[in-house]
Structure 1
């Protein structure tokens, strides 16, 4: 009587998903710029054939559109969600601070990579401009919910948003700068709102620390 072999044939690797291609393309975009986001290079990096790509995307342009959709979802969506989940001025401003210093939530390298990409595309410059405007509108709406005059709300939103974006553009947003910026919390809050933060809320925020960082 023949024995039945107990050897199990290893499963073949699971087929890549569209998200796998997007994640790979995002990594290449951040590391090397948009010109490096090429189907052949991505396939080589993922160790698959070019044919695998076309199971998920009709063209490179379709993949690039998906990258922009993901950028919006990550970097604009997280800001909007942070503000919508708060009920007080103090909590909302601190929620923005937390998003901006936690690079697992707002990805400044991705944001900068898309802005670099936009330098070579007039159409994309319009997309980035519209996205900046959407972010400012979200912050402005937050200020208006807390009884700021509409014009003042808009200007304060621009100031707080473009101040942060300039930190990224100038590469000032480093982990070692977090403790120093935290020491200026009350001054930053007053500058961005014209009001004083509740000392108890400031103390609790410091004790909790921005998620993803250790002081």
Structure 2
């Protein structure tokens, strides 16, 4: 029995480390949390169910790993990609453009964001993660806007404008894509960044 496991073509060691997580996120984005089942993921990634239990003790452990992965890749991962930019404005502009990309690997970004939030509406663990992620994203925006010159009250409002606009755009992409105009959103972001810089330069906008 042990020997058979060691030579199975679908043994856990033959899979990418995040294969189960990626497969779960793909299904989540397409069909929602109730469709994320071990059997469904195994079929998608072309293995039997056996290797799943060599990596995760149960489905809840996989769901936790999915949330952790989503949080890391779609928040800190994006922030890290723009860290080398030399100005706050350039970092924010590039960050927004990265967030606007339609796909993250094989996954539709807008559908994934919507699916995670729908999951949070029925699950306390997911809801807690969403609250933390929203706070982390907005705090990062506030920090960059502060470097541009926005005061405490103003930068909070401006950060929320950027973030709520992005989440709204994701929603429009899913349900009324004909109105999902990235240039319109980028124009709003440009106005927000200019307003923050105007405060630094002592201008009224």
- TM bucket (normalised to shorter chain) is 0.7 to 0.9
- Call closer, same or farther: CA 1:19–1:141 in 2, change over 3 Å: same
Conserved? CA contact 2:21–2:62, under 8 Å: yes
Q: CA RMSD in A?
A: 2.9
Shift >6 Å, 4+ stretches: 173-176
Quote the offset at 1:83 in angstroms. Answer: 4.9
Match of 1:194 in 2: 195
* CA-to-aligned-CA distance 1:63-99 (integer Å, 9 cap, x gap): 0011001101121123422553333243123213311
Task: Identify the structure with the greater helix proportion.
Answer: 2
Tell me which of 160, 168, 179 is aligned to 1:158. Answer: 160
1:108 aligns with 2:110: yes
Gaps of 5+ in 1: 1-10, 198-215
Q: Decide whether the 8 Å contact of 1:189 with 1:195 is kept in 2.
A: no
How high is the TM-score relative to the length of structure 2? 0.76
> Whole-Å Cα distance in 1 between the matches of residues 49 and 9 of structure 2?
18
How many residue pairs end up in the alignment? 184
Contact 2:78–2:95 at 8 Å: present in 1 too? yes
- Greater radius of gyration (CA): 1
TM-score by length of 1: 0.73
2:53 and 2:9 map into 1 onto residues whose CA distance is 20
**Unaligned residue ranges in structure 2 (runs of 5+):** 1-7, 199-205
